[in-house]
């Protein structure tokens, strides 16, 4: 007998229904544990901007700083980070809004799956959300991606509640969560547009309140139009466009690492994380899924029902495709490239739900095998995130070594700064220096965000300045594996000790001494 996909997904066996809630609770606990563990790592890359803005401003100052062209992200995640760091200024509390949002997204995705594709698909989606390296990483990062994803899911849930219950409070929540998503990250508009398009098509009776709710959300965004204009004109936008070209190679890399890999695809490849065995498991799951779907369609065990019976399944796939398609079109037509791994985040919950839906359609028995294979792949990737080789660089260990070894007046050459919107280096957040610190391979500025007019300090210039400041005392060079191979004019100084620290980037500390004026 032919069965519609929605019927298969929405009516699982009674045992599965009874077990779903405790399974989701267990998945949420596992997801929280992973996110909490990763959140204890040192701040990295653009998190330095969040740290600088939050640690140097009051609440109003945070708004002013983000409103300038120094940042190209809306303010909500920064304000939430400022509130959490009033408890304690640390990496963990700076990331607390992301950890909470990323954890709550697990049951929210499950509930959205129940409301759209069915309980079986929802369970698979919740498991993938809990374990996916992409979700774990950005749920433990002091930026807005996890918070934005949570608001996108809540907005979709509120939309469905409004359609079903036709209550003003549900439409108000839909408008509120939609506005909050855009106040967190601009790329959420792709998913929000897909939501609205689906609603106008599938539920013509709800068009009027839907348009009113979106008008209210747009009106709530009016106070930020000046900040949006500043972000469009920021030089950071041009820099990011130059760093992330919109070509086939970049598109492939972004999609791979958004879906299954480590977010920094240029540093850690898929063969490293999740690794070849995990990819084999995932490939087997894909082959089984495609084969089962083809066979069930051919034998008419699976067919698509009349619209709008399947409209909520359509919504799931629209959520998954909205950001990749929208970002690709925007990047192809406009002058700014927004297609990158992290900028696809808004569609990750939809990707999890679409994957769970396809798994559920393979049939009551086979879906258990396929789900186990896919979840095992993501579980391997999640476990590897806790491996020291794939952690954020361990700048705290570097700082501990210098603080234990150095004496007053010793000089540090700091090559840990990156082109973040903030002016801090990674070492600035963890090191209490014993003496002067000289920046190298980055601007020297500490009091304003980096811009295109700031002069980079060359390795030679930094080395000569460090020798002048040291006056025979020791010099500590903090760099990466590539920087350790650069020859520097350190005069009479000779390399005395080298220490390496593994992680996403291999850090190297080189200690130099002047033999002629050795001080103990």
Model confidence over 50-73: pLDDT tens digits? 999 999 999 999 999 999 877 889
Phi and psi at 364, nearest 5°, equal -60, -35
Mean pLDDT, to the nearest integer, of 86-110? 98
Q: Report yes or no: 392 and 268 within 8 Å, Cβ to Cβ.
A: no
Q: Count up the domains in the chain and report the number.
A: 2
Q: Are residues 505 and 384 in the same domain?
A: no
Strand partners, 475: 411, 512
Rounded Cα–Cα distance for residues 431 and 396 (Å): 8
Q: Are residues 165 and 230 in the same domain?
A: yes
Last residue of one domain, picked from the residues 326, 357, 388: 388
- Report which of 46, 91, 40, 53 is spatially closest to residue 429, judged by C-alpha positions: 91
What is the pLDDT at residue 303? Answer: 73
Domain that holds residue 346: 5-388
Rounded Cα–Cα distance for residues 487 and 61 (Å): 42
Kindly give, in sequence order, each residue whose CB lies less than 8 Å from that of residue 171, ignoring residues fewer than 6 positions away: 158, 162, 209, 210, 212, 213
Q: Are residues 347 and 437 in the same domain?
A: no
Q: Distances from the Cα of 238 to the Cαs of 60, 145, 300, 336, in angstroms? A: 28, 21, 52, 7
Please write down the long-range contacts of 207-215, taking CB distance under 8 Å and 24 or more positions apart: 209/162, 209/166, 209/171, 210/159, 210/162, 210/171, 212/171, 213/162, 213/171, 213/172, 213/174, 213/175, 213/178, 214/175, 214/178
Model confidence over 134-171: pLDDT tens digits? 999 999 999 999 999 999 999 999 999 999 999 999 99
Q: Report yes or no: 492 and 464 within 8 Å, Cβ to Cβ.
A: no
Q: Are residues 329 and 276 in the same domain?
A: yes
Q: Are residues 57 and 11 in the same domain?
A: yes
Q: Distances from the Cα of 25 to the Cαs of 133, 221, 286, in angstroms? A: 19, 35, 27
Cis peptide before 274 (omega within 30 of 0): yes
- Under DSSP, is residue 413 helix (H, G, I), strand (E, B) or coil? strand
Model confidence over 33-49: pLDDT tens digits? 999 999 999 999 999 99
Model confidence over 174-197: pLDDT tens digits? 999 999 999 999 999 999 999 999
Model confidence over 232-258: pLDDT tens digits? 877 667 666 666 788 999 999 999 999
Rounded Cα–Cα distance for residues 411 and 394 (Å): 20
Q: Are residues 180 and 302 in the same domain?
A: yes
Last residue of one domain, picked from the residues 388, 422, 450: 388
- Residue in this structure with the two tokens 């190298």, named with its chain if needed: 440
Q: Are residues 237 and 376 in the same domain?
A: yes
Q: Are residues 250 and 361 in the same domain?
A: yes
Model confidence over 190-221: pLDDT tens digits? 999 999 999 999 999 999 999 999 999 999 99
- Report which of 439, 404, 400 is spatially closest to residue 423, judged by C-alpha positions: 439
Q: What share of the chain is helix, strand, coil (3-state, %, to 5)?
A: 65, 5, 30
- Reported as a pLDDT band with limits 50, 70 and 90, residue 260 is very high
Q: Is the pLDDT of residue 25 over 90?
A: yes
Last residue of one domain, picked from the residues 342, 358, 388: 388
Q: Are residues 17 and 98 in the same domain?
A: yes
Q: Report yes or no: 254 and 337 within 8 Å, Cβ to Cβ.
A: no
Tell me which of 63-72, 268-277, 344-353, 500-509 is least confident: 63-72
Rounded Cα–Cα distance for residues 386 and 175 (Å): 38
Q: Are residues 335 and 457 in the same domain?
A: no
Q: Percent of the chain having pLDDT more than 70? A: 92
| pLDDT averaged over every residue in the chain | 91
Q: Are residues 161 and 105 in the same domain?
A: yes
Q: Are residues 52 and 180 in the same domain?
A: yes
- Report which of 52, 140, 152, 60 is spatially closest to residue 97, judged by C-alpha positions: 140
276: exposed, middle or buried (Cβ count in 10 Å: 0-12, 13-18, 19+): exposed
């Amino acid at each position: 007998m032919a069965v519609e996909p929605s019927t298969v997904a929405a009516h699982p066996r009674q045992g599965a229904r009874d077990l779903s809630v405790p399974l989701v609770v267990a998945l949420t606990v596992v997801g929280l544990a992973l996110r909490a563990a990763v959140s204890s790592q040192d701040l990295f890359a653009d998190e330095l901007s969040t740290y600088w803005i939050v640690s140097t401003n009051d609440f109003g100052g945070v708004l002013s700083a983000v409103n300038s062209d120094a940042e190209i992200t809306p303010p909500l995640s920064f304000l939430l980070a400022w509130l959490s760091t009033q408890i304690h200024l640390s990496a963990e509390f700076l990331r607390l809004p992301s950890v909470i949002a990323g954890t709550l997204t697990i049951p929210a995705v499950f509930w959205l799956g129940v409301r759209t594709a069915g309980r079986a698909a929802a369970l698979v989606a919740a498991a993938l959300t809990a374990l996916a390296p992409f979700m774990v990483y950005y749920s433990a990062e002091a930026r807005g991606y996890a918070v934005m994803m949570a608001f996108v899911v809540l907005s979709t849930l509120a939309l469905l509640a409004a359609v079903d219950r036709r209550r003003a409070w549900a439409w108000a929540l839909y408008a509120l969560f939609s506005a909050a998503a855009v106040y967190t990250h601009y790329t959420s508009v792709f998913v929000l547009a897909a939501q609205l398009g689906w609603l106008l098509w599938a539920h013509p009776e709800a068009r009027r309140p839907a348009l009113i709710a979106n008008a209210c959300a747009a009106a709530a965004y009016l106070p930020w139009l000046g900040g949006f204009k500043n972000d469009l004109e920021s030089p950071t936008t041009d820099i990011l466009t130059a760093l992330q070209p919109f070509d086939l190679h970049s598109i492939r890399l972004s999609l791979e690492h958004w879906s299954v890999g480590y977010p920094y695809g240029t540093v850690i490849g898929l063969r490293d994380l999740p690794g070849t065995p995990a990819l084999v498991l995932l490939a087997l799951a894909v082959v089984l899924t495609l084969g089962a779907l083809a066979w069930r369609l051919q034998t008419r065990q699976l067919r698509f029902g009349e619209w709008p019976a399947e409209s909520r399944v359509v919504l799931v796939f629209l959520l998954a495709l909205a950001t990749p398609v929208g970002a690709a079109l925007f990047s192809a037509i406009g002058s700014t490239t927004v297609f990158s791994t992290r900028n696809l985040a808004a569609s990750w919950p939809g990707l999890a739900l679409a994957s769970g839906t396809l798994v559920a359609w393979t049939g009551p028995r086979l879906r258990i095998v396929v789900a186990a294979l896919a979840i095992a792949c993501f579980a391997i990737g999640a476990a590897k995130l806790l491996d020291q080789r794939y952690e954020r660089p361990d700048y705290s260990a570097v700082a501990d070594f210098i603080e234990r070894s150095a004496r007053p007046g010793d000089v540090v050459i700091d090559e840990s700064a990156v082109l973040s919107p903030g002016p801090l280096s990674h070492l600035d957040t963890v090191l209490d220096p014993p003496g002067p610190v000289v920046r190298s391979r980055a601007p020297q500025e500490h009091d304003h965000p980096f811009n295109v007019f700031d002069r980079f300090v060359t390795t030679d210039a930094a080395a000569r300045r460090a020798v002048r400041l040291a006056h025979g005392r020791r010099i500590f060079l903090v760099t990466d594996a590539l920087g350790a191979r650069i020859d520097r004019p350190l005069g009479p100084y000779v390399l005395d000790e080298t220490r390496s620290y593994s992680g996403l980037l291999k850090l190297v500390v080189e200690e130099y001494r002047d033999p002629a004026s050795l001080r103990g």
